Amino acid sequence: MTAIYREHAMTKILGGLLGLAVIGSAVGCNTDNITNTNHNPNSPTSAPAGALFANATVNAIRRWVVFGSGAVVTQQFSSVLYPTVDSYVSVQADGTSGSFTSAYTSDLADYRQVISAGKSASQAGIYGPAMVMSAWDFSNLTDQWGDVPYSEALKADSGIVTPKYDAQKDIYAGMFASFRQAATDMAAVPSGAPTLGSSDPIYGGNLAKWRRFANSLRVRYAMRLVNVDPATTNAELKAAFADPGGVFQSNADNALMAWPGDGVYDNPFSTSVASRLDVRVAKTLTDQMVNDPRLSVYAMPVADSSVYKNGYGGEPSGISADSAAKWFKLASWPGARFGPGVTSYGVYGTSDGRKAPSYVMTYAELMFLRAEAAERGLGGLASSEAATDYYTAIRASMAQWGVTNEAAITAFLATPAIAYKGGVAGLKQIATQNWIALFSDSPQVWAEWRRTCQPSTVVPGPTAIVPYVPRRYYYATTEALVNGDNLRAAIARQGPDNFGTRIYWDSKPANAPTCQ
């Protein structure tokens, strides 16, 4: 009996163990393929270059080409409700860190993917535009923050998790190299070779226009160095003008983003004013635009004309919240063409404002820079060319902003303040008119103002937290937390991380004739 009992027991133990072995084998036959379960069904591990390029470009233009802090601190805009940008309070790290970090993680990372995919396939029609846009994107970072990660940036997937901060001088050298190589390589693209085509929201894959844009940007950034490194300025200008691709020929070459205006992808300026009712044009801007036919484009007539009898005028910058509130109806809103139509607080502007283009660079700006170069005898240009270029630039700007009244334009150009004077006075006119023409292009109006000191009426308001207009932004808070060593090295080289430290191209104001 006992023996039988044991035998049964043994059978069952063995049986049980066998059962376990079976489950073990089931586990085993699953483990062969278990990692297949982990193939992500939601997102691919590669994506079309065009879709990446378009996404990066939408993000970059949304971020930079909008009325931002730069346009407020250089007093093209002001606020009547919470004037904390006017006083520079919200221009500190809390207010600007997001732009800095997302430029790297969203658009620059995507441009890098397009460039590496395009280069490995030797398709300059793909990587050329991405190189141009990437260099332009980096310029916005270095112009507003100073030394930033560049040569080691965007390479976490190659093991560089904490990139060093490059000196601005070196970043500029890299940007020039990018523009040069992009223009050269795009020139060599045979017809029929792949381009970005309709995925290029700027030029629709037209490489001739991309070459002009690359060379025009090269002119812009060459001029930016004029106070610290005129030799480079001269060399880059000459190279840009000599490139067979040429520079912008007319407004038809403008690098712009035409927005669908579908409620999802709207002109970012119109999106901003749609969600707030406190944006006004600044008095500093409207004071510079007396008799300017563009004033009625840039600004709306005031609701209450007790201060501005002619119907247009801006709010003083940097005043207290209490004083600012009084300007609610006394100062002009930004022009109707930027308005989104119906907003939560009423109707503002036209709904077409959502489709208004964002300008990355214009023919007008190129001609102002050319006029300046000519006046200073740079880039192989003669000073005699300055006046013509200056007038061409103003006329291009008028056309760009939709001013077509020839009589008014002619009369405006003839007014004593506008008629070209030549010399340092001429340079001041060029700088001021460029600043006006660049309306709402925040990084450019701020950079050009710092470089030229024009208009000189931009001075801090009474509530400003520093007694000068900020020369740069504070570095991003995330970088301080997780890339501290490299950031500290940059600060040690460049100067304290505050509004007052002058970045490389801004470091020799004494060399700027228009600042004297």
Partner 1 sequence: MLPEGDQTMKRRCILASAVVGWIITLPTIAHAQSATVAGRVTTETGEGIPAANVSIGGSSLGALTNDQGQYSISIPAARMTGAAVVVTARRIGYAAKSVSVVPSAGATATANFTLSVLPTGLEGVVITALGVERQKSQLGTAQQEISSEALNATRSQNFVDQFSGKVAGMTITGSGTPGGSTKITIRGSNSINGDNTPLFIVDGVPVSNDDRGSSYNQGSLTNASSPGIDLGSVINDIDPEDVETISVLKGPNAAALYGSRAANGVIVITTKSGKNTGGRLQTEATSTYSFDNATKFMDWQNLYGQGTAGKFSYVDGRGNGVNDAAAESWGPKMDGRLIAQFDSPIVNGVRQPTPWVPHPDNADSFFQTGNSLTNNISVTGGTDNAKGRLSFGNTQIHSVIPNSSFNNLSSALSGSYHSGRFTASGSVQYAQNRAYNRPPDGYNTSIVQQFLWWGRQVNMQSLKNQYYTPNGGLFNWNSTFHNNPYWLMYENPEYDERNRLIGTVTSNYAVTDWLSATLRGGQDYYNWDINRNFAQGNIQWTNPSYAGAFSDANQGSTQSNVDLLLNASKSIASHLSMNGLLGGTLRRTVFANSNISTPGISVPGIYNVSNAAITPTVQQFSTDQRVNSVYGSAAFTYNDWWTVEGTGRTDWSSTLPAHHNSYFYPGVNTSMVLTNAMPSLRGRVLSYAKVRGAYARVGADATPYQLQTVFQGSTSKFGSIPLFSLADNLANANLKPELTTSAEAGAELGFYDNRITIDASYYAKDTRNQILNLVIPPTSGYGTQAINAGRIANKGFEATLGVTPLRDAHGLDWTSTFNYATNHSRVVTLTPGLTSVTLASQWSATLTAAAGQPYGQIMGYKYLRDSTTGSLITSGGLPVRGPLSVLGNVNPTWVGGWNNQFKYKRFNAGFLLDFHEGGKIFSTTNMMCDQSGQCANTLRGREVDWNNPGVVVNGIDKATGKPNTTNVTSEQYFLSLWLIHEQYTYDDSYIKLREARLGYDLPASLTRRFYAQGATLSLVGRNLFTHSKLPNIDPEFTYGTGNSQGFEYATLPTNRSIGLTLHVTP
Min separation Cβ 481 and partner 1, Å: 6
Cis-peptide, bond into residue 455, ω within 30° of zero: yes
Residue type for 345, please? Y
Min separation Cβ 144 and partner 1, Å: 14
Map residue 359 onto helix, strand or coil. strand
Site for partner 1 in 118-157 (CB under 8 A): 148-149, 153-157
Distance CA 130, CA 115 (A): 6
Mark the segment that binds partner 1 (CB under 8 A) among 198-206, 360-368, 389-397, 437-445. Answer: 198-206
- What separation in angstroms does the CA of 334 have from each of 36, 338, 375? 56, 7, 33
Strands (E), 270-335: 279-281
Min separation Cβ 357 and partner 1, Å: 13
Distance CA 126, CA 59 (A): 18
Establish how many alpha carbons lie within 13 A of residue 432's alpha carbon, considering only the half-sphere containing its beta carbon: 25
Min separation Cβ 196 and partner 1, Å: 10
Mark the segment that binds partner 1 (CB under 8 A) among 20-28, 71-79, 221-229, 308-316. Answer: 20-28
Site for partner 1 in 349-388 (CB under 8 A): 351
Q: Which of 121, 193, 242, 342: binder of partner 1 (CB under 8 A)?
A: 342
Map residue 494 onto helix, strand or coil. helix
Min separation Cβ 217 and partner 1, Å: 22
Min separation Cβ 154 and partner 1, Å: 4
Min separation Cβ 341 and partner 1, Å: 6
Place of tokens 């000196």: 167
Site for partner 1 in 84-113 (CB under 8 A): 94, 100-102, 104-106, 108-110, 112-113
Distance CA 423, CA 411 (A): 23
Q: How many residues bind partner 1 (CB under 8 A)?
A: 108
Site for partner 1 in 242-271 (CB under 8 A): 260, 262-265
Min separation Cβ 40 and partner 1, Å: 4
Tell me the Ramachandran region of residue 246: left when phi exceeds 0, alpha when psi lies from -120 to 50, beta otherwise: left
Residue closer to partner 1 (CB basis): 52 or 437? 52
Q: Which of 305, 300, 360, 359 is nearest to 335 (CA)?
A: 300
Map residue 226 onto helix, strand or coil. coil
Write the interaction track for partner 1 spanning residues 298-317; mark x where CB under 8 A is met and - where it is not: -----x--------------
Q: Which of 16, 377, 423, 500: binder of partner 1 (CB under 8 A)?
A: 16
Residue closer to partner 1 (CB basis): 157 or 406? 157
Site for partner 1 in 391-420 (CB under 8 A): none
Residue closer to partner 1 (CB basis): 15 or 380? 15
User: Which residues touch 442 (CB under 8 Å, ≥6 apart)?
Assistant: 64, 65, 66, 67, 68, 69, 70, 71
Identify the bridge partners of residue 334 per DSSP, sorted by sequence position.
299
Q: Which of 136, 367, 133 is nearest to 250 (CA)?
A: 367
Site for partner 1 in 176-195 (CB under 8 A): none
Site for partner 1 in 322-341 (CB under 8 A): 322, 325, 328-329, 340-341
Site for partner 1 in 35-54 (CB under 8 A): 35-38, 40-48, 50-52, 54
Strand 279-281, strand 77-79: pairing: antiparallel
The secondary structure of residue 240, as a DSSP letter, is H
Helix axes 168-187, 124-145, angle to 10 degrees: 160
Write the interaction track for partner 1 spanning residues 203-242; mark x where CB under 8 A is met and - where it is not: ----------------------------------------
Phi/psi of residue 78, nearest 5 degrees = -150, 170
Mark the segment that binds partner 1 (CB under 8 A) among 2-10, 206-214, 387-395, 499-507. Answer: 2-10
Residues 26 and 20 sit within 8 Å (Cβ to Cβ): no
Min separation Cβ 20 and partner 1, Å: 5
Site for partner 1 in 453-492 (CB under 8 A): 476-479, 481-486
Q: Which of 199, 215, 433, 514: binder of partner 1 (CB under 8 A)?
A: 199
Strands (E), 163-209: 165-166
Tell me the Ramachandran region of residue 495: left when phi exceeds 0, alpha when psi lies from -120 to 50, beta otherwise: left
Strands (E), 216-340: 255-257, 279-281
Site for partner 1 in 160-179 (CB under 8 A): 160-163
Min separation Cβ 404 and partner 1, Å: 28
Tokens coding 4: 């039988």
Min separation Cβ 16 and partner 1, Å: 4
Residue closer to partner 1 (CB basis): 232 or 351? 351
Min separation Cβ 348 and partner 1, Å: 10
Q: Is there binding between residue 116 and partner 1 (CB under 8 A)? A: no
Q: Which of 117, 273, 274, 367: binder of partner 1 (CB under 8 A)?
A: 274
Helix axes 385-400, 363-375, angle to 10 degrees: 160
